[in-house]
Amino acid sequence: MRMVDIIEKKRDGLELTKEEIQFVIEGYTNGDIPEYQMSALAMAIFFKDMSTAERAELTMSMVKSGDQIDLSAVEGIKVDKHSTGGVGDKTTIALAPLVAALGVPVAKMSGRGLGHTGGTIDKLEAIPGFSVEIETDKFIELVNKNKLAVVGQTGNLTPADKKLYGLRDVTATVNSIPLIASSIMSKKIASGADAIVLDVKTGSGAFMKELDQSKELAKAMVEIGNSLGRNTMAIISDMNQPLGLTVGNALEVKEAIDMLRGEGPEDLRELCLTLGSQMVYLANQASSVQEARQKLEEVISSGKALETLKTFIEAQNGDPSIVDDPEKLPKAKHLIEVKAKESGSVSAIVADKIGTAAMLLGAGRATKESEIDLAVGLVLNKKIGDKVEAGDSIVTLHSNNEDVQNVIDMVLNAYSITSENVEKPTLIYDEIH
C-alpha cells in the first residue's frame, strides 16, 4: 500500500477501506508516514468528508494506537460523560457524585485546564489534600466500593490522536467534523466506557458557535459510538455565557457543592439533571429517563448525593469537611467589584473573555507549565436577561493581587448591556440519539 494512492483516493472523494485507514494510522504513529503526507490527507478529509464507516474505523485505529484502560473489573455499566468544553463548566464535580449515589459506576479520567477553559482535575485539587494520582488497581477498587473515582490522564492513550491533533492545529484542519468526532470518541473509548453521554456545547463560548454545526458534530459522535457498540447519546447545551455563576477552581467546587445541596444556580442544576438522567438510564438504573430524573432529585433532597461526594473526597485523601464548611476552601485576599457603566439588560456575556479574565487572575494556565492559583476567579452577579443599573456590581473578582485593571477591562468588554428587554437564553437545545 502507498500513502500517495490513499491521499489521491480521498482527494477524489472516494471511500477509504478499513485496511487503508489502519495503514495510515499505524504508519503515522510509528513515524513511517511523514507529516507532509498526513497533512495532505487531513486536508483532503477536510474537503471530502468521511462516511460513517470510515469515521468509525479512524476512531478504532486511533484507539488501538496506544493503551486502553481495562475497566472490565468494574461491576455494572460504565457510563462516561464528555463535554466539548466551556467556561465555568463544573458539571462533572456535581454530576459524578449525583449519579454515583444511584449506583452508577463512575470511573472518570479527567484533564487539566489550558487557556480560557478550566479542567476538572485542577478544580478537584482545590480541595485540601485531594489526590488524583492513584494506581489502576486502587482506582478500580474505589469505583467498586464507592461507585466513584477520578484519576488524571495516565498512560499512553491514543498517541495517534495526540500527534494528529498537533498537526491539525498548524495545518488549518482542526475544524473538520469527521476529525473532531473521531478524536473525541477515540479518547472516550480508550478510557473504557461502555456507554457515553455527550454534552455538546453551542454558542459564542463553544468550539462550535452555530447550532447546526453543533448538531452535526453531536450526530457524528453518536453514530461513531453506536456503530462501535457503545450506547451513545448527546445533549446540545448553551455556551453563549458561562455555566452557573462562578469561574475559578475553589469557587466552582463550592458551586458544585451548593448544587448537590439543592441550592445554587438553576442552569447548573438543570444541566446536571438532564445529563444525569441520561446516564442513569443508559446504566440501566431506571426504566425511563423521567424515572431517572425523579431518582436524582430524591438523592439531592435526601442528602445522599452530598454523602457520596464526602465519601469520594475522603477516599482520595481530601478533606471531606469542606462539604459542610466550604469556607475551608482556598480563599482569595481581595474581593473587587466590577461595576456596570450603563443601565439596561444584559444581552451578551462573551464566555471566552470571562475565561481569559479568570486566567489573568491566575485561575487558568497561559502555557502548559504555568502554576495556577486555586483560590482566585470571578463570580457573575448578572447573567443574560438580568436588569442592571449603572454602578451595580456585575462581577466580583476574587483576586490575590490588587492591581487588576486589565481584568476589569476584560470583564467590561465581555458584557453587552442594551436598553431593550432581553429573554434568558435556552439552556438545552436538543438531544441526539
Active site residue 168: yes
Question: Minimum CB separation from ligand URA for residue 187, in Å?
Answer: 6
- Chain residue at closest Cβ approach to ligand URA: 183
Contact (Cβ atoms closer than 8 angstroms) between residue 236 and residue 86: no
Our CB check for ligand URA shows the closer of 42 and 410 to be 42
Residue 45 CB burial class (10 angstroms; 0-12, 13-18, ≥19): buried
Block residue for cell numbers 477591562: 409
Block residue for cell numbers 455565557: 241
Q: What are phi and psi of 296, to 5 degrees?
A: -65, -40
Residue 213 CB burial class (10 angstroms; 0-12, 13-18, ≥19): middle
Pairing of strands 393-399, 246-247: unpaired
Question: Minimum CB separation from ligand URA for residue 180, in Å?
Answer: 4
Q: How many binding residues for ligand URA (CB under 6 A)?
A: 6
Q: Following CA atoms 249, 147, 196, 177 in sequence, which dihedral angle do they give, to the nearest 10 degrees?
A: 30
Select which of 187, 293, 295, 398 is catalytic. 187
Our CB check for ligand URA shows the closer of 117 and 277 to be 117
- Chain-centroid distance of CA 303 in Å reads 26
Q: Is 183 in the site for ligand URA (CB under 6 A)?
A: yes
Select which of 10, 81, 90, 168 is catalytic. 168
Our CB check for ligand URA shows the closer of 188 and 382 to be 188
Our CB check for ligand URA shows the closer of 55 and 310 to be 55
- Chain-centroid distance of CA 254 in Å reads 18
> Can you tell me which of 144, 165, 315, 344 binds ligand URA, judged by CB under 6 A?
165
Select which of 82, 116, 201, 215 is catalytic. 82
Our CB check for ligand URA shows the closer of 188 and 353 to be 188
Question: Minimum CB separation from ligand URA for residue 374, in Å?
Answer: 25
Distance, in Å, from the CA atom of 431 to the CA atom of 237, rounded to the nearest integer, reads: 9
Q: Is 180 in the site for ligand URA (CB under 6 A)?
A: yes
Q: Is 160 in the site for ligand URA (CB under 6 A)?
A: no
In three-state secondary structure terms, 148 is: strand
Kindly give the interhelix angle for 304-315 and 91-100, rounded to the nearest 10 degrees: 110
Distance, in Å, from the CA atom of 346 to the CA atom of 358, rounded to the nearest integer, reads: 20
> Can you tell me which of 44, 126, 184, 247 binds ligand URA, judged by CB under 6 A?
184
- Gyration radius of the chain's alpha carbons: 22
Which of 9-17, 46-54, 173-181, 394-402 is the region at the interface with ligand URA (rule: CB under 6 A)? 173-181
Which of 13-21, 50-58, 172-180, 270-278 is the region at the interface with ligand URA (rule: CB under 6 A)? 172-180
Question: Minimum CB separation from ligand URA for residue 190, in Å?
Answer: 12
User: Which residues are designated catalytic?
Assistant: 82, 161, 168, 183, 187
Positions in the binding site for ligand URA (CB under 6 A): 165, 174, 179-180, 183-184
